[in-house]
């Protein structure tokens, strides 16, 4: 699999900035290769060994007004 950072961001649903930071880190670790092409920089996976798929999880949100009430614990956390 190979693609530009913009394509990877579009497929993953992650912001472009996060994708660029992640790709830079993976290139530095030797897990992803960067190649200059006519389309710009393209990235490809060097080795899939040990890489686990990323599962995007939505944060939990309160479902009722009672759950959104401020508690003493919440005040202490600030």
As a whole number, mean pLDDT of residues 73-77 equals 52
pLDDT: is 56 or 38 the higher one? 38
Question: What is the distance, to the nearest Å, from the Cα of residue 53 to the centroid of all Cα atoms in its chain?
Answer: 11
3-state helix, strand, coil in the chain (%, to 5): 40, 20, 40
Looking at 3-7, 60-64, 66-70, which range is the least confident one? 66-70
- pTM reported for the whole predicted model: 0.56
């Amino acid at each position: 699999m190979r693609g530009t950072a913009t394509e990877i961001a579009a497929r993953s649903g992650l912001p472009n900035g996060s994708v660029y930071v992640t790709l830079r880190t993976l290139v530095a670790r030797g897990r992803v290769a960067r190649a200059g092409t006519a389309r710009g920089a393209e990235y490809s996976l060097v080795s899939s060994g040990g890489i686990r798929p990323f599962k995007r999880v939505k944060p939990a949100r309160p479902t009722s007004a009672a759950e959104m009430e401020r508690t003493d614990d919440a005040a202490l956390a600030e």
